[in-house]
Chains A and B, each alone.
Chain A
Amino acid sequence: MTSAKTKEQLNMEFKGVKYILTSSMRTKLLISLYDNSKNLDEIRNNLKKPSATILHGLKELEEVNLVKKNQKYYELTSNGYILTTNMIKLIDNWYSIDKNKIFWDSHDLTGIPESLLNKLYLLKDSQYITSTTKDLSNAFNYYINLISEVKNLNIILPIYSEKHLKYIIQFLKDEKLKHVNFVINEKILRTIKKNEFLNKNLIKSNKVTIKETENDLKLFLTISESFMSLSLFFKDGYYDDSQILVDKSIDGKKWSQALFNTLNNGDENK
């Protein structure tokens, strides 16, 4: 048996978290009172639970000073308000991350700094595009389509892929695309330079700037004025060209720009 003293300490340390998060009645009551104070009838209508259950829950929350009763109205105390704000933040973040869980779970995330992994919730509006057995290049075509309509690109390039680069050269020639800013690992860059066509039209183009990095890049990130896209490697080290995560929201842009800046400056805070 774990000693009584240790148990007591654990109890003290985590009691609050467990108390709040493991009772759906308590969390629902707090959320119900978050927007405005309510009387019993209103709470009952809101939660569709019997009065006895609700009253029991309210009494518990009153005892720990998260809720107070004012005339016939129940309201959150300042403690209750701070707690509920942060509880909703937790639930929102959790939900946002879960939305693309399959994508995150199946890939190697070690290329993304921890500070940004903790902000994955910013990508709540993103969707992932997957190639199917019917259309093996669905993800690739989607990507080309995206970059065919933008003026500026910031790209973290971890792979050598002629077909990607040839499209970029094409769009630069068409003058729709004005400027591309690459961060490339030195090994990949050397390989690109060996290809005469790519060297002449991409590396030496005055519309292209390249930052060479010694870091082993483990993600393919593209940012433009209208979207960001991300592809990753599988956990076994192979690049996954069948899935791409795309986000067009302001939050998505914020997240990806922070990721780009971190890798561009080389100060991965790992």
Chain B
Amino acid sequence: MEENNYNINKKLIFLAKSEIRLKILTELKEKPQTLNEIVKKTNITYSSVSSNLNKLEFNKHVIKDNKTYELTPMTKIYINHLIEFKKSMDIIKNFNNFWNKHNIDYINNESIENINDLYESKLIETNPTDIYKTHNTVKNQLIDSKSLKAILPYVHPEYPKLLEQILINDGNIELILNKTIYKGLLGNIDKKTKHDSIKKGNLNVHILNKDLNIYLAICDDTMNLGLFKNDGSYDQNRILSSKNKKSLNWANELFETIKIEAI
């Protein structure tokens, strides 16, 4: 492999090596500040902030104007990339139960590179007093939603009625699923509603011969992502759910990519 291309840059190491430095840089990224302001905000001692600022100034990462320290434009860019990376690590950590021991093969690389778009998502997990929490979360969205884009690896008995209602309300549904799921789901929707909707272009179904080990349901303003466990079973106990615009775009991109790859 082109090992040399991936040697971590010395400057990157310098910036990442000290937690105190990283904290100061993160603060200055928000806005230019004086030494005292940084001390107050971070609770790091005066001498420590001061010596680190000197080092940063010496290496041309910050400039001092009067008493205010500011990131140099290039360092600002570097720090932004570093913070993006940190965010991706936070996403792994914050949703550890969701990713850990689960299959992410169906999430393409571009979507993984953009994983930060999911930063403001919520991890919804069932618990002993509310074992249907994940299902009910999606169900409530479906009741209110005018549209649905979904990749469904299983059928919940309530799905046919929920989807039928969207169609009766003249809503739009696009589905990616395999034959078995197709029969179980659309076989239980009123025939006339189904045919009328297909005619009107309100119901689009892409049927696959293989299994898709991922769950994705995009309603009007919420997206939900579910994963399979490494043992091959679907994990019904957790979904990642978000109303955030970036997350919705992320989910739509993923849906379209899987559609293209699968068909």
Q: How long is the Cα–Cα vector from A182 to B125 in the complex, in angstroms?
A: 55
How close is B44's CB to chain A, nearest CB, in angstroms? 5
Q: Which one of A7, A85, A117 has the highest number of Cβ atoms from chain B below 10 Å of its Cβ?
A: A85
Expressed in whole angstroms, the Cα–Cα distance for A85 and B6 within the complex equals 12
> Are A27 and B100 in contact, with the CB atoms below 8 A?
no
Q: Which residues of A contact B13 (CB under 8 A)?
A: 21-22
A83 and B12 form a contact (CB under 8 A)? no
Cβ B22 vs Cβ A28 within 8 A: no
Per-residue CB contact flags for chain A residues 91-128 toward chain B (1 = under 8 Å, else 0) read: 10111011001001100011000100110100000000
CA separation between A46 and B43, bound complex, in Å?
44
Query: What is the CA–CA distance of A88 and B42 in the complex, to the nearest angstrom?
Result: 30
Within the assembled complex, what's the spacing in Å between the Cα atoms of A87 and B45? 31
Q: Contact at B89–A85, with CB atoms within 8 Å? A: no
Selected contact of B77 from candidates A83, A87, A91, A120, CB within 8 Å = A120
Given A17-B22, A82-B115, A31–B86 Cβ distance below 8 Å?
A: no
Please tell me if B186 contacts chain A, counting CB pairs below 8 Å.
no
* Binding-face segment, B102-110, B149-157, B246-254: B102-110
Q: Identify which of residues 1-38 in chain B touch chain A, using a CB-to-CB cut-off of 8 Å.
A: 1, 3, 5-9, 12-13, 16-20, 22-23
A118 engages B9 (CB within 8 Å)? no
Residue of B16, B45, B96 touching A21 (CB-CB under 8 A): B16
A46-B109 contact in complex given A16-B86, A27-B6, A93-B81, C-beta closer than 8 Å: no
By a CB distance below 8 angstroms, the chain B residues around A88 are 6
B47-79 CB contacts (< 8 Å) to partner A: 48, 73-74, 76-78
Q: Is the interface of A mostly helix, strand, loop or mixed?
A: helix
A141 within 8 A of B: no
Question: What CA separation (Å) do A30 and B263 show in the bound complex?
Answer: 33
Given known contacts A46-B1, A78-B99, A117 and B77 CB-to-CB distance under 8 angstroms? yes
Alpha-carbon distance between A35 and B1 when the two chains are bound, in angstroms: 10
B112 at the interface (CB under 8 A from A): yes
A-B contact count (CB 8 A): 140
Q: Given that A13-B19, A91-B9 are contacting pairs, would A79 and B96 also be in contact in the complex, using a CB cutoff of 8 Å?
A: yes
Q: Does A194 contact B (CB under 8 A)?
A: no
**Contact bitstring A209-236, B, C-beta under 8 A = 1, else 0:** 0000000000000000000000000000
Q: Is the CB of B9 within 8 A of A17?
A: no
Interface residue A205 (Cβ < 8 Å from any Cβ of B):
no
Which residues of A41-76 have CB atoms within 8 Å of chain B's CB atoms? 46-47, 65
A144 at the interface (CB under 8 A from B): no
Q: When the two chains form the complex, which single residue of A18, A32, A46, A118 contacts B80, counting CB atoms closer than 8 Å?
A: A118
**What separation, in Å, do the CA atoms of A13 and B90 have in the docked complex?**
9
**Nearest B-chain residue to A86, judged by Cβ:** B88
Report chain A residues within 8 Å CB of B100.
65, 77-79
Cβ-based interface call for B130 (8 A): no
Q: Is the CB of B44 within 8 A of A16?
A: no
Pick from B9, B19, B42, B48 the residue with the most CB of A within 10 Å: B19
Given contacts A79-B99, A88-B6, A95-B5, contact A17 B86 (CB under 8 A): yes
Looking at the assembled complex, report how far the CB atom of A21 sits from the nearest CB atom of chain B, in whole angstroms: 4
Query: Which residues of the other chain, B, contact A91 by a CB distance below 8 angstroms?
Result: 5-6, 8-9, 12
Instruction: Report Cα–Cα, A38/B119, bound state, in Å.
Output: 32
Minimum Cβ distance to chain A for residue B224 (Å): 18
What sequence of 0s and 1s flags, for each residue 89-131 of chain B, a beta carbon within 8 Å of any chain A beta carbon?
1011100100111111000010011010000000000000000
CA distance A35 to B3 in the complex (A): 13
Is there an interface contact between B113 and A17, defined as CB atoms closer than 8 Å? no
B126 to chain A, nearest CB (A): 21
Within the assembled complex, what's the spacing in Å between the Cα atoms of A15 and B93? Answer: 12
The reply to whether the CB of B84 lies closer than 8 angstroms to some CB of chain A is yes
Contact of A86 among B6, B9, B20, B85 (CB under 8 A): B85
A98 to B81, CA, bound (A): 13
Instruction: Given A31-B1, A86-B115, output 6 extra A-B contacts at Cβ < 8 Å.
Output: A24-B7, A81-B104, A91-B8, A97-B74, A118-B77, A118-B80
A–B pairs, 24, beta carbons within 8 Å? A1-B45, A5-B43, A6-B43, A10-B22, A17-B16, A18-B16, A18-B19, A24-B8, A27-B6, A28-B6, A31-B6, A32-B1, A46-B3, A78-B101, A86-B84, A86-B113, A88-B6, A90-B85, A94-B9, A95-B9, A97-B78, A104-B74, A114-B76, A118-B77
